[in-house]
């Protein structure tokens, strides 16, 4: 469950509008930045969406087109600002950037086995599940939403509800909503088992015990 939540929320929140995935300039996206700064907080312990960005996802909700300024923030252990660029290849949604970066990194890995990825790969079976939920419910995350949608463009603003809340809103009939929630829980449990299998397979506890001859 934790890995699924991280893939859905933390990865886009970390990489979109970064050096790896620059966003388009503000003027080219109907001032999407104002949609974020005006967004209210989902989590009650934070007084504003900007504070949630700072405390949960370690992003600074200022905007810069200066790459040196962006890099200096990281070097000095400060939360990096939102990086936009009109000269570098830019992306208005996370998934487009993800596909482009992964493709380039796969080439680098084929040349150098010691190459360090700049962006974490996500499970292949994750895409369809996440896309369907985001499209149908306009939500992001299971426990809380991230700063950006996974597939939708940033011009639509930040996700303001998690997918559990989205399901509850869509299915107002309580018994039906409970049934859907149980189904989601089952799917996530299956994902968790699939993702943990390689770890189990390599651990001593899961290795086959040696054959012991029966006692005479």
Is the confidence at residue 210, as pLDDT, over 70? no
Contact 155, 29 (CB under 8 A): yes
Is the confidence at residue 48, as pLDDT, over 90? no
Is the confidence at residue 67, as pLDDT, over 90? yes
The span from the CA of 168 to the CA of 190, in Å, is: 22
pLDDT tens by residue, 171-180? 665 555 555 5
Assigned token pair, 13: 């929140």
Is the confidence at residue 21, as pLDDT, over 70? yes
Is the confidence at residue 55, as pLDDT, over 70? yes
Listed ranges 78-92, 104-118, 128-142; the one with the highest mean pLDDT = 78-92
Across the range 118-131, mean pLDDT stands at: 76
Domain boundary assignment for the chain: 2-202
Mention every residue, 6+ apart, whose C-beta is less than 8 A from residue 96: none
Q: What is the mean pLDDT of the chain?
A: 74
Buried/exposed code over 99-114 (b: 16+ C-beta within 10 A; e: otherwise): eebbeebeeeeeeeee
Contact 164, 142 (CB under 8 A): yes
Is the confidence at residue 206, as pLDDT, over 50? no
Is the confidence at residue 198, as pLDDT, over 50? no
At 158 the pLDDT is 82
The span from the CA of 82 to the CA of 17, in Å, is: 5
More confident residue, 191 or 147: 147
More confident residue, 80 or 156: 80
More confident residue, 197 or 215: 215
Query: DSSP characters for 194-213?
Result: HHHHHHHHHSGGGSPPPP-P
The span from the CA of 58 to the CA of 80, in Å, is: 7
At 216 the pLDDT is 52
Across the range 33-50, mean pLDDT stands at: 58
The span from the CA of 82 to the CA of 16, in Å, is: 8
Helix, strand or coil for residue 158? coil
The span from the CA of 115 to the CA of 125, in Å, is: 25
Q: Whose CA is closest to 91, among 47, 149, 4, 43?
A: 149
At 175 the pLDDT is 55
């Amino acid at each position: 469950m934790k890995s699924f939540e991280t893939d859905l929320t933390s990865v886009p929140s970390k990489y979109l509008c970064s050096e790896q995935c620059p966003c388009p300039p503000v003027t080219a996206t109907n001032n999407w930045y104002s949609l974020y700064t005006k967004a209210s907080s989902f989590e009650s312990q934070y007084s504003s969406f900007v504070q949630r960005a700072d405390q949960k996802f370690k992003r600074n909700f200022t905007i810069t087109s200066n790459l040196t300024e962006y890099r200096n923030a990281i070097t000095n252990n400060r939360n990096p600002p939102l990086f936009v660029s009109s000269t570098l290849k830019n992306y208005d949604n996370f998934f487009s950037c993800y596909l482009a970066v992964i493709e380039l990194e796969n080439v680098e890995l084929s040349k150098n086995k010691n190459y360090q990825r700049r962006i974490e790969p996500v499970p292949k079976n994750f895409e369809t599940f996440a896309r369907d939920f985001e499209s149908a419910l306009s939500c992001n995350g299971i426990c809380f939403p991230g700063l950006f949608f996974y597939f939708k463009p940033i011009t639509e603003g930040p996700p303001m509800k998690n997918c559990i809340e989205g399901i509850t809103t869509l299915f107002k009939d309580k018994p039906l909503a409970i049934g859907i929630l149980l189904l989601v829980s089952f799917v996530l449990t299956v994902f968790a088992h699939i993702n943990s299998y390689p770890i189990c397979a390599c651990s001593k506890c899961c290795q086959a015990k040696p054959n012991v001859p029966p006692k005479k």
